[in-house]
Copies of this chain bind each other. A is one copy, B any other.
Amino acid sequence: MTGSLDSPACRQVLRELVADDRLARAAWSRLAEPGEDAATALVAEWGAGPAIDVLAGSDRREHAGYRGRLVAADPRPELDLLHRMGGRLVCPGDDEWPAGLDVLAKPPFALRVRGALDLAQACTRSVAVVGSRMATPYGEHVTAELADGVVSRGFTVVSGAAFGIDAAAHRAALRARGLTVAVLAGGVDRSYPQAHEQLLREVIDLGVVMSEVPLGSVPMRHRFIERNRMIATMTLGTVVVEAEVRSGALSTARKAADNGRPVGVVPGPVTSPTSAGCHQALRDGYATVVTDAAEVAELVGRIGADAAPRPSGPAHAQWDELDDVARRVLEALPRSTGRPAEKVALVAGLGPEPTRAALGRLALLRLAERHGAGWRLMPRRKRAGP
């Protein structure tokens, strides 16, 4: 699609995007950066396809940037390339969509995914293991022990493929022939960092590499931050092994805690700057000390035991294990059209914070799902395990 928006070719492409929700979602992730308000609002209000139409006719200033990119929005060449690489597009509502992402106020429009695993299944029993790029030998050693231990307990290790703790986590999971998911801030066709080209190839072979930005995208600061919010919510809990006081790993941990996920941190010497962020998280009160894989499993297992697939169990088994808040939220959900979270909170007689956290847990348990701009009960056909 080249030339002006008004050319017949362009108008034809736009019509095709408007008519195809998945194509439109892929287009939106080419138009907008992850987590941008205006694009998120358009898609939430109109749906991805119609929002393209609205955008094309909009003269609002906050839409100008997106409009400027509309002529290059057609995602089909990129998706062809993705498919040729063995990859695929995963959209909300797809079986492979990780339910935990639905808890985000600004969920990704779509994911580019490469790898052998089913992403949603890999996330049903998963833990984020993240930390400093400047990891010490101590940190890398502990990371390897933890990742090996949680993998042997059936958890998927999710991380960001960065130097240091992230890489140690992926490597240990691969060594133990466990499942691992690398969530990238750039495109899934790019090895970032370059030195991890071989590591990422191995993750694709045995696990999943995913990103919400198009192929070819370079990682940028804000993309790392938005990437972290996915790691934090698509997993049952987050463990930080080493982290500086102001660090991406701590932002992941905070995001996980804000969304009702348990956060574990590994303590270390108080003389080590790469443990200072872990100790700060403890002092701030949103994290728990974890010293080995058994403690990690115990920490995230509070949710994990519920979230693990139960193909044979009756539906009320899960119900019995919900806490009171989650039950009230579940009872406040409609069956068909999504109800906004604030409305759910009102119906349940709860505050917005606990309601959002409970919705996140219920999404992980595949009992609730995002629908339009709101939430509804997970349709029965989707409820059973893999």
Contact = CB atoms under 8 A, between A and B. Distances in A.
Closest 6 CB pairs of A and B: A267-B267, A270-B291, A282-B289, A279-B289, A279-B291, A283-B289
A334 interface: no
B271 A142 contact: yes
Interface in A139-160: 141-142
B267 A275 contact: yes
A111 B102 CA distance: 65
Interface string A284-306: 00001101100100000000000
25 contacts: A138-B269, A138-B271, A141-B271, A142-B270, A142-B271, A266-B270, A267-B267, A267-B268, A267-B269, A267-B275, A267-B279, A267-B282, A267-B289, A268-B268, A268-B269, A268-B270, A269-B269, A270-B292, A276-B291, A279-B291, A282-B282, A282-B289, A283-B288, A283-B289, A283-B295
Contacts of A268: 267-270
Nearest to A291: B270
- The contact size tier of chain A is 20 to 34
A29 to B, nearest CB: 40
Nearest to A289: B282
Interface of A: 138, 141-142, 266-271, 275-276, 278-279, 282-283, 288-289, 291-292, 295
Contacts of A276: 291
A131 to B, nearest CB: 13
Nearest to A136: B269
A288 B266 CA distance: 15
Contacts of A266: 270
A254 B133 CA distance: 37
A276 B21 CA distance: 53
A279 B279 CA distance: 11
Contacts of A138: 269, 271
Given A138-B269, A142-B270, A270-B291, 6 more contacts: A138-B271, A142-B271, A267-B268, A267-B269, A282-B282, A283-B295
Nearest to A284: B289
Nearest to A266: B270
Contacts of A270: 142, 266-268, 291-292
A112 B223 CA distance: 67
Contacts of A141: 271
A279 B265 CA distance: 11
Contacts of A289: 267, 279, 282-283
Contacts of A267: 267-270, 275, 278-279, 282, 289
Interface centre among A269, A275, A282, A295 (most CB of B within 10 A): A269
A141 B270 CA distance: 11
Nearest to A288: B283
Nearest to A283: B289
A241 to B, nearest CB: 10
A295 B289 CA distance: 18
A109 to B, nearest CB: 40
A271 B146 CA distance: 12
